[in-house]
Amino acid sequence: MQPDGLADYLKSKVAEYTKGMSWLPKVNWLKKEIVTIDDRNWADLRYVAPRALPKNLRDGLLHTQIPATSNESQLLEILFTSNTDDNPVLKDKIDKVMESARLETK
């Protein structure tokens, strides 16, 4: 994938997950945008698979973050998935662990 294909990738991925799948019938989007990190554009996708009666947007069975970029004309897609937790402090710590990942190229 070329860097200019990132916006199309984002639209396609959002459409795919929004329509639902047998194992993931509904998602609540926390973030779905192009961001720039260290002069590199990334698709930043974050969603929660909600519980039957969620208390808020972050109350779900599963929290997923998908950072994706173009690296040497190839799609680089990283998938972080964790169970959600009732403790908001722990949820924030999980988010920080996910955000700490860095891409280093030689």
Q: Where are the domains of the chain?
A: 3-99
Give the β-pairing of 74-77 and 60-71. antiparallel
> What is the pTM assigned to this prediction?
0.79
Torsion of CA 83, 13, 11, 3, to 10 degrees: 100
pLDDT at 13: 94
**pLDDT at residue number 68:** 95
Give pLDDT tens digits along the chain (106 positions).
998 999 999 999 999 988 877 777 788 899 999 999 888 999 999 998 877 777 776 667 788 889 999 988 999 999 988 877 667 787 778 778 877 877 776 6
